[in-house]
Chain A
Amino acid sequence: MTTINILFGLAAGFVFGYILARTGITKYPRVMGMLLLKDFKILKFMLTAVISSMILFHFFGDLGLLKVVPKNLDWGKPIGGLIFGAGMGILGYCPGTMAARIGEGKKEAILAFFGMSAGILVYAITIKPVKATLLSNELNGDIFALLGVNRWLVIAAAAALFAFVIRFVDGKFDDGRRVF
């Protein structure tokens, strides 16, 4: 059981790292260029992945082959999201790309690796007050139940919205454009 876990993790991570590095998602100017709203390759990449996997997840879900477990909404989501986003802006990349950057030979990412782990340790130390305040109330994250409309109607609307955003930024900003 342990061996298969290790092999599966290695294989999945390897493929993910290869894709991220070869698509240029690991580049610091790309991440900062997106946050400066000038280079949208990463956004287009992410929204493409979201549209495609959204359809596949819910298709296989309807067939009963997998079960999507929605994440509920509590105050940890917006507060943690803002802290994470600020950290991403300061660092210039996110956790997955950080690991791929270590492989690419960018040494500072090793420091970031331990910083990220330390951040989770700090979270563990503060869990008591956090749980009592930010995580005490939660709203069911199942958006379909919340809206009470047909699942595929919501999926189609979300896919159309994401596709519109991709088209909009793709027409307006060229990938080869120099930001810095």
Chain B
Amino acid sequence: MRIDNSKEWHWLAGGIAVSLLSVATYFIFASIAGRNYPFGITAGFGYVAARIGAFFPALADNPVIRRFGDKPDAFIELFILVGLVLGGYTASRLSGTRSAENIPAVWVRYHGKSILKRYLFVIFGSIMLGYGAALSSGCTTGNILQGWAHLSLGSIVAGFCFFAAGIAVARILYPKTEGGNDND
């Protein structure tokens, strides 16, 4: 059913909406978790990692596993992840923008339709994403949407490094682009 008939939202509308969400959640987070936790994503994945890590006795006293397994913010962020899935689902349903795409169409055009090749990139890329986010204590949400807004020195450095490495990798993967018509 197509209820949301608006075109893709403008960046200004989307940006202001996200800023209101991130400030509002800061207040709510503080009142239910008892301290200031900025709105984030990484700790939700950390919670999943901690649950998996619980199967390994050698990790029982690991500080990272304990931090993500015990603190309330990781538990809340796990449900932020579930909410993100539901939000993405609802948006794609209501706006009629759902597609059956598995591997990105642009990837297929430039790197072939081998599922194995793409999945190897997905696995390596996402493991690096997890490791990097844990080491720099935040992902794009925590370090840029929150950290840059706080003007935290650590987040400013981390955010610039996100772009620097991302730009370098993108140039290696797509040394030349054709300016064609794919835009999904």
Contacts and interface: CB of A to CB of B under 8 A. Distances in A.
B88 A57 contact: no
Size bracket, chain B contacts: 35 or more
Contacts of A19: 9, 14, 17-18, 21, 87
Contacts of A179: 177, 179
A80 B155 CA distance: 11
Contacts of A116: 45, 126-127, 129-130, 133
Given A23-B8, A46-B144, A17 B170 contact: no
A104 B23 contact: no
Interface residues of A, number: 121
A124 B56 CA distance: 12
A65 interface: yes
Interface in B1-57: 4, 6, 8-23, 25-30, 32-33, 36, 38-39, 41-42, 45-46, 48-49, 52-53
A44 to B, nearest CB: 4
A77 to B, nearest CB: 4
A23 B4 CA distance: 13
A83 interface: yes
Contacts of A44: 11-12, 15
A91 interface: yes
A115 B125 contact: yes
A32 B135 contact: no
Contacts, number: 518
A52 B49 CA distance: 33
A105 B86 CA distance: 11
Contacts of B64: 120, 123-124, 127
A72 B8 contact: no
B45 A83 contact: no
Contact of A5 (B18, B32, B135): B32
Interface of A: 1-2, 4-6, 8-29, 32, 35-38, 41-42, 44-54, 56-57, 60, 65-74, 76-92, 94-96, 98-108, 111-125, 127, 130, 134, 139-144, 146, 154-155, 158, 175, 178-180
